[in-house]
Amino acid sequence: MMSDILTQIKISSTIGSEVISVQDVKDFVRIDTSADDTLISRMITTAREWAENYMTRDIVSKSRIYYLPKVDDRFLLPFAPITSISQVTVDGTATTDYQLFGLNEQVVLLISLPSKEVKVTYVTTGLPDESIKQALLQLVSSYYDNRSNFVVGESVNEIPTGTKTILTSFKTMFI
């Protein structure tokens, strides 16, 4: 049934590269060996994805598809700032009958309204901010130091509060 379909978002492709490198992490954590480079690389991606989902903003540029089963007249595109919109499809037909508003041009106003369903293909800019890089370094360091959830005789660490504090200023209350 169409009414049961929820709003969905999908990453078509990741365009940008990581904002911190394996060497940045090794310098931050003071690692002198290359034995864990692959592990650190995966942790960088995991930390960035966690941060992006926490903030509802992209740190690395991406191409995304956003699907809304029902729209009245306007909606927000998540993970702004938006670089460009490739296509807007309203009720299965491509249209240019819309306007963009907002500081990051993330508010889409449909001129002919309402519609049953809307699909938007767009590209995000990403946020290579120095504060975000610092938060990612702290998060990867925490991941590296706490590679398992259970350690006998030690307490389990959660996401460092400094990381959340830094990222909160970039957070978008969206999803």
pLDDT in tens, 21-35: 999 999 999 999 999
Taking the domains of the chain in order of start, what are their residue ranges?
A: 2-145+158-168
CA 56 – CA 79 distance, rounded (Å): 5
Query: Torsion angle, CA of 35/41/43/46, rounded to 10 degrees?
Result: -160
Torsion sign over Cα 111, 114, 115, 120: positive
The amino acid at 36: D
What's the distance, CA 15 to chain centroid?
13
pLDDT digits (tens, 9 = 90+) for 51-108: 998 888 999 999 999 999 988 788 889 998 899 999 999 888 898 888 888 877 788 8
pLDDT band at 1 (very low <50, low <70, confident <90, very high): very low
CA 58 – CA 43 distance, rounded (Å): 17
For residue 161, pLDDT beyond 70: no
Q: Are 83 and 123 in contact (CB under 8 A)?
A: yes
What is the per-residue pLDDT for 103? 79
Q: Does the reported pTM lie above 0.85? A: no
The amino acid at 46: T
pLDDT digits (tens, 9 = 90+) for 94-114: 988 888 888 777 888 888 766
Please state the rounded mean pLDDT for residues 128-142.
92
Closest CA to 106 of 93, 128, 91, 122: 122
